[in-house]
Amino acid sequence: MKKIIINKAGDCRQLIIIEEKIPQIQATEVLIKVSFIGINYADVLVRWGVYSSAKEYVGWPITPGFELSGIIEQVGSQVTKYKVGDRVFGITRFGAYTTHIALDEEMVFRVPIELSLEQAAAFPAVYLTAYHALFQNIIIPANAKILIHSCAGGVGSALLQLCRFMGHESIGIVGSSHKVEVAKKLGANYVIDKSTQSLWREAERISPNGFDVILDANGASTLKDSYDHLAPSGKLLCYGFHSMLPKQGGKLNYFQLVWTYLKTPSFNPLNMTEQNKSLITFNLSYLFDKKEMIRQGMVHLIELIDSKKISGPSVTIFPFEEVGEAHRAIESGQTTGKIVLSCLE
């Protein structure tokens, strides 16, 4: 089998393809011949050596990747839910950049008829992130006004669809004009194009009294303004710090990283109490031990797919051997939907 490893932090040249033996499965595991692998921005952070859970749980060398789809080739002696030949997709805390993988059956799911294999590989990470934010992390009042940064990307696309399903009013923010129509089709009631509009002036026009929920993965560039534009009892959910990181070149600018870190706002609990606002942060990679919560989220999301309440992500496909190009594309910030690697020959 083929596998992609990273031996040390660096640019895309650190993504090395190696040959290994196909893994032996345990009693509760299935062996999946991988068809497609989902690519996430977190994989770039792993490659740069700044993803904390990667260092904590794996270290170097590491095979990145959280999600994949494919066909079951073997089942363990205690597996009850699947058989050889089943079309499935799976979740793993790292290790998905490979052509064969052994996964516990609890982290494997049948591909819904509404999803292609490539869509299924791109589904779990971003939809679970969006689901955890909106369903498992906070209680949201009915008919809430929700502001979503980077709404045409992977997580943003899922957030827009889930907000529409829940009956909320969603205001999406994009950084390029070609993403406006994408966001509208995904369910955004309003779209702010910050390449042509004043972001916060437009946000204030749309919702003069602030927002019930703001979802922000940018970090220092927008975090304070996002918090300031919450309505009383509003919640700011932060799940990334993308503005600290480069969009081209494939290497970290450590001066920019430190400078942006120093500009990251601090939040005083006393002031937050007086303002009646909350800041909530999370990192999905630290939730893999909560298998029941993950399964609960995935089962509900699959039900929504089956009932056509939400749809699968749009995907751009790169060959397995072009993993470096896939990373460059997601770093650029110009893509919409999800990127996947194809293991099909």
Burial of 126 (0-12, 13-18, 19+ CB in 10 A): buried
Strand-pair category, 29-39 with 100-104? antiparallel
> The sheet that has 230-238: what strands, in order across it?
190-193, 169-174, 145-148, 211-216, 230-238, 278-281
Cα separation, 324 vs 16, in Å, equals 9
Strand-pair category, 100-104 with 190-193? unpaired
Amino acid 135: pLDDT: 96
Residue that is last in its domain, among 239, 259, 281: 281
* CATH code for the domain of 301: 3.90.180.10
Cα separation, 78 vs 98, in Å, equals 24
- pLDDT tens string for the chain (345 positions)? 999 999 999 999 999 999 999 999 999 999 999 999 999 999 999 999 999 999 999 999 999 999 999 999 999 999 999 999 999 999 999 999 999 999 999 999 999 999 999 999 999 999 999 999 999 999 999 999 999 999 999 999 999 999 999 999 999 999 999 999 999 999 999 999 999 999 999 999 999 999 999 999 998 889 999 999 999 999 999 998 876 676 666 667 777 777 777 778 899 999 999 999 999 999 999 988 899 999 999 999 999 999 999 999 999 999 999 999 999 999 888 888 899 999 998
Domain with 182, as residue range(s), is 138-281
Which two tokens mark 345? 């020959």
Residue 131 is assigned to a structural domain of this protein: no
Residue 236 is assigned to a structural domain of this protein: yes
Q: Judge if 274 and 292 occupy the same domain.
A: no
* Alpha helices in the chain, H assignment, sequence order: 41-48, 52-57, 117-121, 124-131, 154-166, 180-185, 199-206, 223-228, 254-263, 269-275, 291-306, 323-332
What is the domain count for the chain?
2
Q: Report cis status (omega within 30 of 0) of the bond before 319.
A: no
Q: Judge if 244 and 173 occupy the same domain.
A: yes
Residue 133 is assigned to a structural domain of this protein: no
Task: Give which of 184, 118, 165 is closest to 300, Cα–Cα.
Answer: 165
Amino acid 248: pLDDT: 65
Q: Judge if 334 and 271 occupy the same domain.
A: no
* CATH code for the domain of 246: 3.40.50.720
Q: Does residue 60 contact residue 7 with C-beta atoms inside 8 Å?
A: yes
Q: Judge if 162 and 98 occupy the same domain.
A: no
